[in-house]
Amino acid sequence: MSGLDTARIATSPDERRTRRPRIGSDAWTVIGLFAVTIVMILASRLISPSFGSWDQARAILVLTSFVMVIAFGQQSVILLGGLDLSVGSMMTLGGILTFSWIGGSGSALIWGIPAVLLVTGLVGAVNGLGVTFFRVPPFIMTLAMGIIIYSVALGITGGTPSGQAVPALGWLFSHRLFGIPWVILLMALFAVLGTIFQQATPFGRRLYAIGTSPEAAAIAGMPVRRIVILTYAISGAAAGLAGILMVGYSGGATLTMGDSYLLPSIAAVVIGGTSIVGGRGLYAGAIAGAFLLTTLSTVISSIGIAQGWRTIIYGLVILVALVLLREELSLWFLRLRSRGGR
């Protein structure tokens, strides 16, 4: 009623009455998002019969892969209570390096991909170092690094990256297994591995712990600095991986290839239910958010209306998603189901 976060003022609820629900509010958010997206795809049939088809769904899933990969790193960092604003530049860097180091030669893939991931991971680790050892706020550190990386890339390439396409990477997008492009299968595996990493490994649990309370994590003996640096490194590498994939998809690299992925990565994570202050949220949510956003922009851009309207609708849908999928709403939904134990 007064807008206060009343829970903060020491109240201990009657414990006998509160049971941890089987499907938490986080999971309901994910389910809700996927449901909305599927409804959107089906509803797009109304716009044109060629919509809502498997072909379109496939295309959307392929497009989702980039945001999804970046969102893994972004979500991990946000879980820690941080933020990575350098992912756009990092993706560009990954793409440029792939283009010039691996381009044209299939055999270079074997050392090339790990090399690119290593480089982008190391740059990400620099973010982590700045945040932990120099206590620079993540917003500033990653913002600055993003500007610096972009500038370095600009200076090195002189404005136009040189290299060649990588056929092996393009193969991922063009070839299919049982009608499903290989890249989608790869992404499904990535999603599973990512979720397992966060939910079922000691590292993942410590991630949540540090995001909830860094002081308590330090006192409990966790190597907080190491974990933070590693997480930012993971974010850098994930963005680099997205750049690698993009080279495969588009056959080239440009200086702005990563720019349009920064804000969607944040949007996907936040819509997916991860709190910006850290400590809670699921990667599955970020995936669902990425899926929703990509579907939205695909459907919208196929509608024959002015660019301005398309942008407006995109923004409005994000807003609606945010309002509907607030934590309070999913908690309310949960309470509805558990009512009866008064």
Partner 1 sequence: MSGADPQAIRLHVEGLAKAYGATVALRQVTLDLRQGEVHALLGENGAGKSTLVKILSGIVTPDQGNLLLDGGAYRPGSLMEARRAGISTAFQELSLLPNLTVATNLLLPTLIKGAGGLAATRRNQERAAEILAEFDAADISPRTLVSDLSLAQKQRLEIVRALSHRPRVLILDEPTAALAEPEWLFRLIARITAAGDVSILYISHRLAEVRRLCQRGTVLRNGESIGTVSLAGTLDADIFRMMVGTSPEGHQPGQTAGTQSDAAPAIAVRGLTGRTITDVGFTLRQGEILGVAALEGQGQRELLRILAGAVAPLSGTIEIEGHALRAATPAAALSAGIGFVPEERKTEGIFLTLGTAANISFPILNRLRRFGLINRSRERTAVQGEAARVELAPRYLDMRIGALSGGNQQKALIARVLLSGARNLVLFDPTRGVDVGTKQVIYGVIRDFVAAGGSVLIYSTELAELVQLVHRCLVLYQGRVMGELSGAAMTEERLVSLATGHGEQERAAA
Partner 2 sequence: MSATGTLPVARRPGGASTRRLLANGTFNVFVVYVLLFVILMIKQPDTLSAFGVTDLFNNALPLALAAAGGGLVVLTRGFDLSVAGVIALTNVLIATALPDGPWGAVLAVAIAGGAGLVVGAVNGYLVAYVRLQSIASTLATMIVCSGVALLVLDAPGGQVPDAVVYGFSGVLPGNVPVSAVVALVVVLLWLALRRTDWGVAIYAIGADETAAALAGIPVRRAKFFTYCLAGILYGFAGLMLSAVTATGNPNGGTTYLLLMFAAIAIGGTAFSGGRGGVIGSMIGAATLTLLQKVLFSAGVSSFYTGIFQGLVMILAVVIGAITARLAEGRAR
Q: Which residues bind partner 2 (CB under 8 A)?
A: 2-5, 8-9, 85, 130, 134-137, 139-141, 143-148, 150-152, 154-155, 158, 263, 266-267, 270-271, 275-276, 306-316, 318-319, 322-323, 326, 328
- With CB under 5 to 8 Å by kind, the binding choice for 49 among partner 2, partner 1, none is none
Residue from 23, 35, 42, 216 touching partner 1 (CB under 8 A): that is: 216
Residues in contact with partner 1, counted by CB under 8 A, come to a total of 45
Between CA 39 and CA 139, with CA 292 as vertex, the angle to 5 degrees is 160
Instruction: Say how far apart CA 280 and CA 277 lie, in whole Å.
Output: 9
- With CB under 5 to 8 Å by kind, the binding choice for 201 among partner 1, partner 2, none is partner 1
222 is an interface residue for partner 1 by CB under 8 A: yes
Interface segment toward partner 1; rule CB under 8 A; list 82-90, 106-114, 242-250, 328-336: 328-336
Instruction: Say how far apart CA 197 and CA 292 lie, in whole Å.
Output: 23
Residues 239/262, Cβ–Cβ less than 8 Å = no
135 is an interface residue for partner 1 by CB under 8 A: no
5 is an interface residue for partner 1 by CB under 8 A: no
Task: Give every CB contact of residue 197 below 8 A, 6+ residues apart in sequence.
Answer: 203, 204
Interface segment toward partner 1; rule CB under 8 A; list 48-56, 57-65, 217-225, 253-261: 217-225
- With CB under 5 to 8 Å by kind, the binding choice for 139 among partner 1, partner 2, none is partner 2
At closest approach, how far in Å is the CB of 198 from partner 1?
A: 12
- Number of helices (H), then strands (E), belonging to the chain: the values are 14, 2
12 is an interface residue for partner 1 by CB under 8 A: yes
Interface segment toward partner 1; rule CB under 8 A; list 14-22, 34-42, 80-88, 133-141: 14-22
Residues 30/273, Cβ–Cβ less than 8 Å = yes
- With CB under 5 to 8 Å by kind, the binding choice for 341 among partner 1, partner 2, none is partner 1
Going by C-alpha positions, the residue among 84, 88, 65 that lies closest to residue 255 is: 88
276 is an interface residue for partner 1 by CB under 8 A: no
Q: b/e map of 307-331 (b: 16 or more CB within 10 Å)? A: eeebeebbeebbeebeeebeeeebe
Site of tokens 């699921």: 282
Closest to partner 1 by CB, 76 vs 294, is 76
At closest approach, how far in Å is the CB of 121 from partner 1?
A: 19
Interface segment toward partner 1; rule CB under 8 A; list 3-11, 30-38, 132-140, 265-273: 3-11
Residue from 1, 46, 177, 323 touching partner 1 (CB under 8 A): that is: 1
| Assigned token pair, 242 | 């997205």
205 is an interface residue for partner 1 by CB under 8 A: yes
DSSP 164: -
- With CB under 5 to 8 Å by kind, the binding choice for 148 among partner 2, partner 1, none is partner 2
39 is an interface residue for partner 1 by CB under 8 A: no
At closest approach, how far in Å is the CB of 147 from partner 1?
A: 30
Number of neighbours of residue 45 by Cβ within 10 angstroms: 13
DSSP assignment string, 40-103: HHHHGGGT-TTTTSHHHHHHHHHHHHHHHHHHHHHHHHHHTT---TTHHHHHHHHHHHIIIIIT
Residues 224/217, Cβ–Cβ less than 8 Å = yes
Task: Report the run of H or E that residue 180 belongs to, with start and end.
Answer: strand 180-181
Residue ranges binding partner 1 (CB under 8 A): 1-2, 4, 6, 8-15, 17-20, 196, 200-202, 205-206, 208-209, 212-213, 215-223, 279-280, 331-332, 334-335, 338-339, 341-342
